[in-house]
Amino acid sequence: MPGRPSGAFRTMVRKEIMANLVSYKFFIVILLTSVLIFTSLFVMARDYKSRLADYQLIRPKPGEPIAVLAPNPLSIFAKGLDEAMTRSFEVNALGIEVRAGQQSGNAIFAFFPAPDFVYVVKVVLSLVALLLGFDLVSREKETGVLRLMLSNPVSRGTVLAGKWLGNYLSLAVPFVLVTLLGFAVMGLDPQIEFGLGGALRALLLLSVTLLYIALFLSLGLLVSTLTKKAASSLIVLLLVWAVAVFVLPNLGTLLARQMVDVPSVKALSEKRQQIWTREVLLAITEGRGKGAPVWDAARKAHFDAVNSEFDKLEADYRMKFDKLVRLSKNINRISPAASFVYAATEMAGTGISEEGFLKDSVVRYKNIVLKEMDRGEKIHAAFAYRYRSVGQVLAQGGLFDLAWLAVFAIAFFAFAHTAFVRYDVR
């Protein structure tokens, strides 16, 4: 008797796996997912190599006060803000001039989101997980299989857990194999160098993906236990999926913009130009007709004033922008899709926080260059940026998003269990 519950659980898991293996719909879904993943990796790899070629052309020569970052190879899987991070930041008397840098050569990306691995998982894999879970209970109630199953000495919790695990393995195992194969193919390309750290980040990104799939499978199971017919389950889940994946993430950003007033980049640039013009005119007025020493002193004083005001202006803008980003992220986290994107992009080094650390590094570089220019020295400082470690990423918000996804997955399964215990199988 003690071994019966575990035996029933294994039987239930095998039953679900075998049911999927003999289903032509399941093979169509797996084939479609595999094609999408390989197509995504191929397209994004070409995009990365194109931007890498651009970087080789625009990378600064020694002595040029330009900060530019090479494209991140992990942007193949999670592009995130990598295109913004690889712009060219040129230091001059006006501060930092931002130029285009390495633009994607694919014009389609200007109209549609980049079809990277994260996007395929966020949209397609979440839908596939829901389609696997939407009728696990309601369909078997309609056919009478569920009533027959529960007439045996097996607990409802065992039945539900077996169904969940069997379908999760049916989706996760082929998905992991296909993804690892894609990772391996990318690693064979001599132009794409991940390194040991990059490979570790890619595996962690895959782990986040598996957690995301578990969440949506649990959601599908929950809705299936709350409805009596499979058709009703499907309609409800399609609505929930559309809201969670497309509506809520964009709604959060719109709400945050209404709550936090952030000046536009154009307005900020015009204000910097006004400050520069004012101080230059004052320096000319003070030094006019008084000889070189007076002119040099006036120029230096006003040059320092310009930099000081620029720094205050930039600090005020960054404070408001960071407040907007924090509020937007917190609202968007109502959607598990948003938490998944935040966790995946930060793990890949292409997230919002990573971009913020890069901009702080560029500001520090600017201050070093301006000091060398002020002393009349030749510019020796070269820009260098080191991505945050995985530990830093987890400590600075990544762990929260992972925990939030886990809470969603566990809560959905717990609610599904509660509903299934009271489910009328007649």
pLDDT band at 152 (very low <50, low <70, confident <90, very high): confident
Residue % of the chain over a pLDDT of 90: 44
- Is the pTM value of this prediction over 0.85? yes
What pairs with residue 98 in β-bridges?
89
Contact 114, 104 (CB under 8 A): yes
| Model pLDDT, residue 216 | 96
Contact 315, 95 (CB under 8 A): no
Q: Letter for the amino acid at 265?
A: V
Residues 264-311 have pLDDT tens digits of 667 766 777 776 677 666 666 665 555 555 445 566 666 667 677 777
Average pLDDT, the chain: 85
d(CA 340, CA 248): 13
Residue 314, number of CB atoms within 10 A of its CB: 17
d(CA 215, CA 405): 7
Ordered by start, the domain boundaries in the chain are 4-421
| Model pLDDT, residue 107 | 54
d(CA 43, CA 40): 5
Three-state SS at 97? strand
Place of tokens 């109209």: 111
Residues 85-132 have pLDDT tens digits of 998 888 876 677 787 766 665 555 555 677 899 999 999 999 999 988
Contact 41, 82 (CB under 8 A): no
Higher pLDDT pick, 247 / 426: 247
| Model pLDDT, residue 109 | 57
Residues 321-347 have pLDDT tens digits of 888 888 889 999 999 999 999 999 999
d(CA 306, CA 413): 59
Place of tokens 């719109």: 254
Which region, left, alpha or beta, applies to residue 60 given φ > 0 means left and ψ of -120 to 50 means alpha? beta
Tokens of 403: 């925990």
d(CA 117, CA 115): 7
Residues 26-84 have pLDDT tens digits of 888 889 889 999 999 999 999 999 999 989 888 888 888 889 999 999 999 999 999 98
d(CA 27, CA 246): 27
Contact 186, 42 (CB under 8 A): no
d(CA 327, CA 127): 28
